[in-house]
């Protein structure tokens, strides 16, 4: 994620300050934390011993990103959800995430305006990138969350699998309520409505 140097250049800092909600100091701190994590990650996983040699720029591919998610959700199967998140983070569709892509996504999800967060969430749920969210896409994301959390979250028996929840049309009420504040449902799909300033 980013360059192999120990800190961001003045040009990189200026660009990131312009494109995120982080200040100079925060960006430098995130850069150091991120590069330290990648360095630790590459050293602690024998399978990826050559990561620093093979990826000196600090880019993460989808498989490596998934392994990081696995560290945070060791009792579940986070692979599918990590893939969906990776696809949104990988803004240039290069197949890797660099520091700029990571910090821009983090900026939106943690400090962005409501419209930016909704657009980011829409991109996550719009798996096939056709500008709509179908019920099946919504189900796939929810299913991946169930798989990721595994036994970490104890749900009532009538909601403990996505299949049970799917049989109840109101099961996605929270997700749909969030999305419906910026998108409208028509013909079984959710379609983005452009926000007016």
| The pLDDT value given to residue 123 | 93
* Widest distance between CA atoms in the chain: 54
| The pLDDT value given to residue 5 | 57
| The pLDDT value given to residue 197 | 31
- Dihedrals phi, psi of 186, to nearest 5 degrees: -155, 135
DSSP character for 136? H
| The pLDDT value given to residue 43 | 53
Contact indicator for 78, 23 with CB cutoff of 8 Å: no
| The pLDDT value given to residue 172 | 47
Structure tokens at 92: 């240039």
Closest to 114 measured CA to CA, from 38, 43, 181: 181
Three-state DSSP state, 77: coil
| Contacts of range 62-65, beta carbons closer than 8 Å, 24 or more positions apart | 62/86, 62/90, 62/95, 65/89, 65/97
The distance from CA 189 to its chain's CA centroid, rounded to whole angstroms, is: 22
| The pLDDT value given to residue 185 | 45
| The pLDDT value given to residue 138 | 87
- Locate the DSSP E strands across the chain: 60-61, 96-97, 132-134, 183-186, 189-192
- The CA distance from 90 to 98, in Å, is 8
* pTM (2 d.p.): 0.71
| The pLDDT value given to residue 149 | 85
- Dihedrals phi, psi of 189, to nearest 5 degrees: -135, 155
Per-residue DSSP letters for 2-50? --SSSS--HHHHHHHHHHSS--HHHHHHHHHHHHHHHHHHHHH-GGGTT
The pLDDT tens digits along the chain (197 residues) read 444 456 788 999 999 999 999 999 999 888 888 777 666 655 554 343 433 443 455 678 898 888 888 888 888 899 999 999 999 999 999 999 988 898 999 999 999 998 899 889 999 999 999 888 888 898 899 889 888 987 776 667 766 666 665 555 554 444 444 444 444 444 455 555 443 33
């Amino acid at each position: 994620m980013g360059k192999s140097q120990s800190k961001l250049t003045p040009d990189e800092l200026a660009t990131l300050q312009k494109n995120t909600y982080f200040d100079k100091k925060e960006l430098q701190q995130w850069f150091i934390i991120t590069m330290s994590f990648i360095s630790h990650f590459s050293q602690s996983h024998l399978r990826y011993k050559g990561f620093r040699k093979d990826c000196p720029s600090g880019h993460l591919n989808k498989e490596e990103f998934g392994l990081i998610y696995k560290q945070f959700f060791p009792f579940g199967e986070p692979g599918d959800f990590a893939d969906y998140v990776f696809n949104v983070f990988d803004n240039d569709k290069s197949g890797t995430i660099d520091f700029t892509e990571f910090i821009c996504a983090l900026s939106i999800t943690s400090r962005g305006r409501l419209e930016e967060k909704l657009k980011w969430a829409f991109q996550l749920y719009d798996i096939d990138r056709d500008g709509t969210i179908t019920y099946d896409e919504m189900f796939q994301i929810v299913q991946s969350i169930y798989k990721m959390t595994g036994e970490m979250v104890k749900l009532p028996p009538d909601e403990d699998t996505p299949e049970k929840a799917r049989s109840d049309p109101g099961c996605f009420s929270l997700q749909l309520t969030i999305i419906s504040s910026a998108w409208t449902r028509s013909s079984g799909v959710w379609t983005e409505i452009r926000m007016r300033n």
